[in-house]
Structure 1
C-alpha cells in the first residue's frame, strides 16, 4: 500500500490477492510435500539427538523451506544464477541443510562438544554461520550459486551487508538490471518493524550506486505461523504466555495436515508418504554416523564469500611480502595533470572549483602534493593497475571540507557532470564515487558487503565526521573487528574517519581512536620476534590496521599497500581536517618515487637527530598535533634539545622502529603527547607497549588534555587554553623532574 508505482500495486493485487490465483499441479503438490517432509523431519531429528541444545528451530514455520526453494526455483527459471541471502538465527540450520544444501554431517558435527577448533580463529555458534555453494537447481537444470551470509545475533544487521555484496556481484558482472544476481532477506515480523537498519537499507533502494534492482523480503510472522517452542528450545513460553501455548500444543503439525489432504485427494498414497519420510530419516541417520568421524572444526567449510583465485588451495596467502608502493614519475605527472584539469570540452565549472584546479596544477609543476592530490595519486594508480576503487559516504564527491571535487558539475547544463578520474587511461578500472544517503549503519554495512565480493578492489567509506561512525558501531563491533576470527572472512574495507581537535565541539572532533585500539588484538606485554618480513607478518597477524597519517605521501602509500598486500585486513584511517590545506602538510613527488613505501614511523630529521646524545626529551605523537608541536618547538628554539617522532601506524604497534628510536636517544626522557583527553585517544594503548620496549626501565610521560567525559569542549577559548597548557608542558624541560615512575 506504500508503493508509489500504480502498476506495481496492481501486479501485487492480481498475483497475491485474487482468490484461487495459485493452482498447483499434482507434481507441484508432491514437490511441496517432499520439501515439507525435509523441513519438518530435519527439526525432529535435531530435537531427538540434541534435546538440550539451542538450535533456534523452525517448528511452527516449517513452510519457510518450501517457500524459499520455490522463490529460488522461479528466480532460476527467470535467469537468476546467483542468490545472496541473509537471515536471523531462527531456522538457519534448516535453511543451510535444505535450501543451500550444506552437507548434513558438517552441520551435525557442530553439535559435538568434543570438536576441536582449528587455529583459524575463535569461530562462532552454529546458528550464526554462513556458507557458499554452487549446485544444479533440480527444477530448472541450471547452475545456481547460493550464498547465505554469516551474521551475529544483532537482528537485521546483515541486511545492508547482503545488499552490498549483491550490488558488487552485479557490478563486476555488468548486471545493470539485476537479471543475474539477486538478494533474499528473511526477517522476523517484530524485528522487521522494530529495527531501524531495515529502513536504512530500504532507503538505499533507489540510489543508482546502491540499488540492487529489487529484493525479495520473506517476513516470518510469529502470529500467522507460530513458534512451537520459546525464543529458543531451552525457554519455557508457558511462564509468560500460558493460554497461547496451550493452544499451540493442541495445534496439528502442518506436515500432518498437508499429507492427510494430499492422501485424501489421491495425489499420494500413505505408503508413498511414509517412504518419503523414511528416506529422509535414513539420510539424517547416515549423516549423523558420518559426523562422528569429524574431530576438527573446519571453519573454512563455512565461508560465505570465498576468494579462490586470491589464496592458495589451503586458504593461505600466496606470499608473505609486499612490494614497494612508490610510483614512476610519469605516472605521478599524468595523474596530477588529470586531477587539475577538466577532460570534457565546453564544460563550465564553478569559479571556486577552477581556483582549486589551478592550485593543483601549480603543485604538480613544483612536484608537490597536498592531501587531495595524494589521494588522487593512490586512486589513479590503482585504477591504472586494474583495481576498482569505490568511495562512498556523505558528501564524498566534493569532500565534506570541499577539498576533493572528484565530480565536476557543469554550471550551465543541469545534471551534466564529469568524473575526471574515469578519464585517466583508456583501459583503466572503473572509479565509483557516490554520495550516500544520510545513514551510517546501513551504508557502512553495504560497503562492507561490497568489499566481500572481490579482493581486487579498494572499497572506502568516509564518515562526514569521524565522530559519526558511532551510529554504525554494530557493523564495526560485530563484522569488521572480529569478522576474520568468527567467520574466516578477509575484508579490505577502508574507513576514512576525519579526526582532530579544531575547536569544533564534542561531535566534530574525535573519531574515538581509543575504541578501535582497544579492539586491536596485538599483545602489549610481549616484544614480538623480529624475523622474516616483520612488517608484513605483523599485519597478517592483526585483526585490523589503525593509522593516522600526517603526510599526503604516507596516505597514498597506505592506500596502495592495502591492495598490494597478499591478504586483506580492514584499514582504519584517522584523516585530518585542518591538514587538508595546511602549508606544511605537503609531500614531494620524491616521497612517492619508485621504490618508496609507507612509513610506519617518521623519525625526527632535524638538528636533534644529528646529535642524539644532546637530546633531553623525545616527544612521540601521531597525526596533526605534530605540526603544532613542531611550530612550538621552533618558536622556543628547542630544535636541538627535543626530538619529535610520529607514529603513523599505531596498530599493529611498530615495536621494532620505536625501539630503534628509543635506543638512539638513550639519555632522553620519553613523552607521549596527544591532543585528545587522557582517557581517550591513544595513550592507554601506546603506554604499555612503550614500557615493553624499554623493559619497564623508564617511564613514558603523558602530555595532553586532562580526562573528560565529552570528547571536546564546545567553547573556542577553552579549546585554545587547553592547547596552550599542554604545549607549555610538552616543552617545559623540568615538567617531570622528581616525579615517581
Structure 2
C-alpha cells in the first residue's frame, strides 16, 4: 500500500532546491524509473509512484516548468505531491493537447482535410471518465491559479489547441523556448474594435485589388491571392510591429508569384498606376529586356510610429524557392554593415507555396544556414501560403509529399510551426504576433502555415475543376474571407454596412486615381539614412579600361610578411607550417611566388586599401588542394586559441571572412549572390570544391548571375572560383563546364577568365574590386598549377604588372613564326614542356580572358606574327566542350582568309573527361603532338 503523498507546493516554497539544482531532482527520478530505489527518500518514492500511475509526460513537464521558473522567477504553480488523482491526470490530458491537439485542429477552410484525432486526447487514455468532468482541479497557470472543473479545462484546451490554429512546438529541444511558446499560446488575446477594423481594412485591400484587376484586365495572368487574402494583414503586422516595437530598419522579403502583385501594391506601396502600365505594356526600359510583372522586385520606405524602415522585395524567377538563399544573403550583408543588435535591425521574411516548400531541396539547404554563424541571419519568418494544391497536383500526404504536413522540413532546425485557418483572420494575427516575438526573442526561424485555398486555377486562364473537382465544388460555394469576417464584425456591432461600404469605395477610388494604397515616405528624404551600399558609381558602366594602381614592392613585402605572421602560441600542423615558412621566403625574395601566395597577397592588399573580402565554399579555409591555408588551426589543443586567421589582422577596421560552407552549392551560391548585391565595395567569392559541382547551382547561375542585370537591372560583382582542368581525375573532377558559361555570355553580362600564373590571379582579383565595373567574374582556377614549378611569378610582376587578357610568347621570334597556337589554361604548360626549343617557328599565345573576348589585344598579336600561315586553337577539353564553339567566330573574324584556322581537341564526348588516368595521358600526348605537328 502506498504512503500518503507529501505536499509538494509547501516543499516548493521552502526547499533549497527551488529554481536550482534541478539536476538532482532529475537524477533521482531517473534512478526511480531505472529501478534504482536505494537512496531515494520514501516520500519521493511515494510521489513518483503517483506519477507513474498516469503517463510519463508529467516528469518532463515538471522539469520544464522548474527550469522556466528558475529563469523567470514567476509564481507559477506547479504540480504538488498532495494533489488528487484527477488533478494529476488532468495535467497529463492538458499535456496531450499541447502535444497532439494540432492534429485535429480546424485549420482547413474547405473542410476537406481531416486528421485523425490523437487517442491521447480521450479521457480514457489518461485514466479519466465522464464521472470526473465535474471535479475541481487547479492546474496553476493554465487555470489562472484557481480551481476549475475538468470539463472547463477540456473546453479551454480545445479552444486553444483544436480550434483555428494547430500549434506544433513540443518537439523543440530548448526548454525555455518551449515554455515561452506555451505561455504565449495559452494567453488569451482579445482584439480591440480598432484592431478588428484594421484587419477588415487589410482584407478589403487584398480582395479589392484582385477584383479590380480581374475586371480591368480580363484573362491576363496575375496569379491572384483570392482565397489567401489573410496573407496581407499578416505581412502588414510583421512589418509594422517589427519596425515600431523592435526598431527594425530593413525588412527583406522574398516570395514567388502567388499574390505578389497584391503584396507589391498593398504592402510595399507600389503605385497602382505603375502596375497598370505593366499590364498595358506601356512601361519598358530600353536598356533592359525586362520580365513578367509577377517576377519584379521593389523597395520602398515607410514610417511607422515615427520610425523609418526600408522594405525590399527581391526580384525572382519562376524557379520556386530559388530566391530564398538570395534573400538570406542580402539580409546578412546588411547586418554585416550595421552595429548593435543587427538581428533586430534586419528581418528576413520568406513567403512560400506549400508544394514548393516541401518539394524543393533548396528550402532544406536554406534552413541549414539558419543556426550557422557565417550564414545565420537571426531567424527568418516563413509564411507558407498553403492553398492545398500545386498547379494541378493535390498537395497531400501520399500524393505530392511524404510528410504529414508540407511544413515538416522546418523541424530540422526546431522551428515552431503554426498551422492556421486562413478564413479566421484574428487567429492569423495571433500566430503572426507570436511568430514575430519568437523570432525577435530567440533569433530562430519560425513558420506560419496559412492554410487557405486558390479560388481560381494556377493562373487566371486555367480551369481547375478538371483536376480538383471536389475541391472546386466546395470553393464555388464558399464565401470569401472578407465576406465572412465583415459579416462577423457587423453582427458583433463593430462595423455597420455603411462603414464597410465606405471602406470598399475609398479603396477602389485610390486604384481609379492611381494613388498609393499605403503610407510611404519620399525616397529622396530618407534613402541616405537607410542606404547601406552605393551602386551609383557602377550603374551604366559596361566596359571600362582598368587603370592599374601600382603597389610598391616594399609595401607588398610588408603585407606578405604580415599575412604570414602567426603568433608563437599557435602550433601549426607540419605542412601548414611549411607553407607559411615558404611564404615568408617568397616575401623575402628567396623563392619564386606560387599561386597561394599571390592569391593571398591580393586579399591582403585589398584589405589594406579598405575593401572587405568574403570567401565562401566547401573547404575554402584550407583550399581543396591545400594551397590557401587562410585559417591556421592550433595543434596545441589545450590552448584557448583554437585557430588564427592572419588576414583578419591586416586591417582591423575591414571585414575578412573565410568560410567553410555547408555542403551545399545551390543554396550557398544563392546566398553569396544575395550578399554581393548589397556589397558593391567588397570582393565576394564563392569557390567550388571542384568545378564540376557548380552544375548543382545551375538555377542560380542561369536566373540570377547571368541574366539579372538584363532582366531587372540588378548588378553583382560576385566572383566564382571553379577548379578546372584535365588531369586524369575522371569525369566528375575535371570540368567546371566552361562551355556553359561562355554560351551564356552576351551584352557584357559577365567575365570569364582562365588565368595561368600567380601574377594573373593577383591582378584579376584586384581588378574585380578596384575598377568601377561590377559584373560577375567566372574564374577557371587550376589544380596542378598550384604547385607546378613553371607556374610561378616574381614580386616585380605583382608590383608593376596588370592583368593581361592575352599573354604573348616571350620566347618566340616574330619574323620566324609560321604557326600560331592559341590556347587557354593548364594545357599551355603541357605544350611548352614538349615544345621547348624544338619548334622555333611556333608561337604559343594564351587567352586569359575569354569573355569579353579580347579582340583588340589578339588583333595586335596577329599583326605581330604577320608571317604566320596557320592558326591552331588548342584545348584539352573535348571539341564539343571547352571554349572552341563559343569563341570560334571571334577568331575567324580576326584570321580572315589569310590564315588557315584549325581546332585541336579531344574527340567529341558526352562526358567532360575519361575515367582512366592512362587513357588521359595518352589523349593529352596526342593533342599536344597534333598541335605541334599539324
1:366 to 585, 589, 608: 589
CA deviations 1:576-631 (Å, max 9, x no partner) are: 0001111111111111224x32101001111x2x3x22212111001111111111
1:130 to 276, 289, 297: 297
What residue number does 1:528 align with? none
What residue number does 1:160 align with? 325
What residue number does 1:649 align with? 849
Map 1:500-515; keep pairs closer than 5 Å.
500-515=725-740
CA deviations 1:678-713 (Å, max 9, x no partner) are: 110011112111111123543321112111111111
Counterparts of 1:502 and 1:289, CA distance in 2 = 61
What residue number does 1:556 align with? 762
2:556 to 320, 329, 332: 332
The answer to whether the 8 Å contact 1:339/1:373 transfers is: no
Query: How many angstroms does 1:387 deviate by?
Result: 1.0
Larger Rg: 2
Counterparts of 1:191 and 1:181, CA distance in 2 = 25
What residue number does 1:568 align with? 774
The answer to whether the 8 Å contact 1:307/1:455 transfers is: no
What residue number does 1:172 align with? 337
* Cα gap change, 1:248 to 1:284, in 2 (>3 Å): same
Query: How many angstroms does 1:61 deviate by?
Result: 0.4
2:655 to 410, 416, 430: 430
What residue number does 1:705 align with? 906
CA deviations 1:428-457 (Å, max 9, x no partner) are: 412100100000000000000111112101
CA deviations 1:74-120 (Å, max 9, x no partner) are: 2111221210010010000110111111111111110013x263232
* Cα gap change, 1:153 to 1:310, in 2 (>3 Å): closer
Query: How many angstroms does 1:7 deviate by?
Result: 2.5
Q: Mean Cα displacement is larger for which, 439-448 or 372-381? A: 372-381
What residue number does 2:646 align with? 420
What residue number does 1:662 align with? 862
Query: How many angstroms does 1:320 deviate by?
Result: 4.7
What residue number does 1:527 align with? none
Counterparts of 1:318 and 1:279, CA distance in 2 = 46
The answer to whether the 8 Å contact 2:271/2:516 transfers is: no
The answer to whether the 8 Å contact 2:277/2:283 transfers is: no
1:4 to 167, 173, 196: 173
What residue number does 2:250 align with? 82
Q: Mean Cα displacement is larger for which, 259-268 or 145-154? A: 259-268
Secondary structure of the structure 1 residue equivalent to 2:513: helix
Secondary structure of the structure 2 residue equivalent to 1:117: coil
The answer to whether the 8 Å contact 2:548/2:802 transfers is: yes
Query: How many angstroms does 1:176 deviate by?
Result: 5.6
Secondary structure of the structure 1 residue equivalent to 2:514: helix
1:376 matched to 2:615? The reply is: no
1:597 to 802, 808, 815: 802
1:588 matched to 2:815? The reply is: no
1:103 matched to 2:268? The reply is: no
CA deviations 1:332-381 (Å, max 9, x no partner) are: 10121123331x24221112211111111222222742111111121111
Bigger RCO of structures 1 and 2 (CA < 8 A, at least 6 apart): 1
Counterparts of 2:703 and 2:695, CA distance in 1 = 13
The answer to whether the 8 Å contact 1:108/1:288 transfers is: no
Query: How many angstroms does 1:289 deviate by?
Result: 13
What residue number does 1:534 align with? none
Query: How many angstroms does 1:308 deviate by?
Result: 7.0
1:625 matched to 2:832? The reply is: no
What residue number does 2:505 align with? 278
What residue number does 2:614 align with? 390
Structure 1 unaligned runs (5+)?
291-304, 522-540, 736-741
The answer to whether the 8 Å contact 1:339/1:420 transfers is: yes
The answer to whether the 8 Å contact 2:533/2:679 transfers is: no
Counterparts of 1:340 and 1:4, CA distance in 2 = 43
1:212 to 367, 377, 383: 377
Secondary structure of the structure 2 residue equivalent to 1:234: coil
Counterparts of 1:479 and 1:64, CA distance in 2 = 27
1:495 matched to 2:717? The reply is: no
Structure 2 unaligned runs (5+)?
1-168, 389-450, 518-529
1:453 matched to 2:678? The reply is: yes
Counterparts of 1:436 and 1:701, CA distance in 2 = 43
Q: Mean Cα displacement is larger for which, 280-289 or 387-396? A: 280-289
Q: Aligned pair count?
A: 686
What residue number does 1:716 align with? 917
* Cα gap change, 1:546 to 1:320, in 2 (>3 Å): closer
Counterparts of 1:412 and 1:348, CA distance in 2 = 6
The answer to whether the 8 Å contact 2:254/2:313 transfers is: yes
* Cα gap change, 1:75 to 1:566, in 2 (>3 Å): same
What residue number does 1:297 align with? none
TM-score by length of 2: 0.71
Query: How many angstroms does 1:263 deviate by?
Result: 1.3
Q: Mean Cα displacement is larger for which, 692-701 or 238-247? A: 692-701
Counterparts of 1:319 and 1:654, CA distance in 2 = 12
